[in-house]
Amino acid sequence: MVGTVAPYRLSIVSSEIEGRVETVPVREGDPVVAGETIIASLRRTDLEIDLRIEKAELAKAFQDYLRLKRGSRPEEIQAYRARLREKKAELKRDELELKRARDLFKKKILNRSTYDQAVAKYQISKSKFAAEEYNLRISEIGPRKEEVAKARAEVARMKARVASIEDKLGKAVILSPLTGFLTEKSLEVGQWVSKGGKAGEVIEIQKVLVRASVSERQISSVRVGDSAKVTLDALPNRKFRGRIARIIPKADTKTRTFPVEIELQNTPEYTIKVGMFARIVLEYGAASSVLLVPKDALLIRPRGASVFILEKGKVREVSFRPGRNVDSFVEVPGELIEPGMMIVVQGNEKLRGGMKVRLKGQRRRPGARGGKGGRPARGNTQKGGRG
């Protein structure tokens, strides 16, 4: 199969708050470390001011809660009692004045306006006395549970507001979520970024995934964890071995192939890069012993494939229908060729069945004849074998 190298993980980094970009210390292609490398930082001044205000409000709410929880002190209770005695004396005085005013008004010595003023003054003194009496009673029995609960809830609310601003301050620094490389930078200094706005793209390639497609005829033989051989056109002299990490159970309806992801360990120098073209060989099914011949020995004929076998100085052509390909070899079905036979791999395109040949570099015997013009053909041979 053929496939493409993809990152093991890819993250589109976004800003969790809105604000103006203050610094962007990284560039595209720079290495990044998860939780340490700063991709960008936002202006924090307004948030720091809001934090100081909310902390002051929290301190005030906490003191109010403590005052209600602890109740009044003895000195405060004594002060309430003193004010109550004062209001009681004022009420007594205004009550006597009202009684005199009522007698004089009945005798028509006092006019209506003056009498009404005496009545109003008495009512005010009566209300003040009742208020002081209530304050004294409250200070003696303490605040109601509902009031304490309300003050406690206000403290909790202010703590939440402080925590919210502190959280925003932390989010003003955008850190890399992965260890890898920054492949795309989306912010610049002075730019305004909204909540959820893109800050960059980070990939992790300590391991990579090679994505390929397997035909529906073969997908039932492929299993997660199976071994895979991978070669890359960009790295022609390197061979890698990975394993199938996942099989996507949804086919492409146009090609009837299923996506497969092969996990591959990258080199310490990160030689394998995202987007490289890959060639993959998957080995599946039960192992079997078959006879293999080099592909260089094959000749393609109208009736199929054939190879030349060297026997006692002469070549014999054997035709067959090729089986499976295994690396640089091809399977020969049946028992047409036996292991150990000498097979011509070079110069075979000039041969015909029955021709006398000698191995390259081998001296010709005096008087030997063969091939055209009495000269034997020459070629390189290799032994067939089982695989």
The reported pLDDT for the residue numbered 361 is 67
- The secondary structure of residue 170, as a DSSP letter, is H
The position carrying tokens 């020969």 is 332
- Cβ-Cβ contacts under 8 Å for 369 (sequence gap 6 or more): 356, 375, 376
The reported pLDDT for the residue numbered 48 is 95
Backbone phi and psi for residue 91, each to the nearest 5 degrees, phi listed first: -65, -40
The reported pLDDT for the residue numbered 379 is 40
The reported pLDDT for the residue numbered 272 is 96
Superfamily of domain 1-43+178-285: Efflux pump adaptor protein, beta barrel domain (2.40.30.170)
Residue 243: closest CA among 230, 258, 257: 230
Question: Is the model's pLDDT at 368 over the cut of 70?
Answer: no
Q: What average pLDDT is seen over the chain?
A: 87
Question: Quick one: three-class SS letters along 79-98?
Answer: HHHHHHHHHHHHHHHHHHHH
Question: Is the model's pLDDT at 385 over the cut of 60?
Answer: no
CA 375 remoteness from chain centre? 72
Among left, alpha and beta (phi > 0; psi -120 to 50; other), residue 285 is left
The reported pLDDT for the residue numbered 214 is 93
Question: Is the model's pLDDT at 386 over the cut of 80?
Answer: no
Mean pLDDT of 83-95: 91
The reported pLDDT for the residue numbered 357 is 83
pTM: 0.60
Percentage above 90 pLDDT, the chain: 51
Q: What is the DSSP string of 4-30?
A: EEEEEEEEEEE-SS-EEEEE----TT-
Residue 228: closest CA among 244, 205, 249, 213: 244
Number of other residues whose CB lies within 10 A of the CB of residue 308: 27
Specify the higher pLDDT residue, 376 or 170.
Answer: 170
Q: What is the DSSP string of 273-285?
A: -TT-EEEEEE--S
- Cβ-Cβ contacts under 8 Å for 3 (sequence gap 6 or more): 210, 211, 212, 213, 262, 277, 278, 279, 280
Any long-range contacts for 271-275 (C-beta under 8 Å, 24+ apart)? 271/235, 271/238, 272/5, 272/205, 272/208, 272/232, 272/235, 272/240, 273/5, 273/205, 273/234, 274/5, 274/6, 274/7, 274/183, 274/203, 274/205, 274/208, 275/4, 275/5
CATH class (in words) of the domain with range 291-386: mainly beta
- pLDDT single digits (tens) 310-342: 888 888 888 888 888 887 888 888 778 888 888
pLDDT band at residue 387 using 50, 70 and 90 as cut-offs: very low
- pLDDT single digits (tens) 141-153: 666 778 888 999 9
Tokens of 203: 């990939």
Strands 173-175 and 38-42: antiparallel
Any long-range contacts for 243-252 (C-beta under 8 Å, 24+ apart)? 244/282, 245/209, 247/214, 247/219, 247/222, 251/216, 252/213
pLDDT band at residue 363 using 50, 70 and 90 as cut-offs: low
pLDDT band at residue 365 using 50, 70 and 90 as cut-offs: low
- pLDDT single digits (tens) 181-213: 999 999 999 999 999 999 999 999 999 999 999
The reported pLDDT for the residue numbered 221 is 87
Polymer length in residues for the chain: 387
pLDDT band at residue 75 using 50, 70 and 90 as cut-offs: confident
CA 369 remoteness from chain centre? 75
Mean pLDDT of 65-69: 81
pLDDT band at residue 377 using 50, 70 and 90 as cut-offs: very low
Among 63-77, 195-209, 296-310, top mean pLDDT goes to 195-209
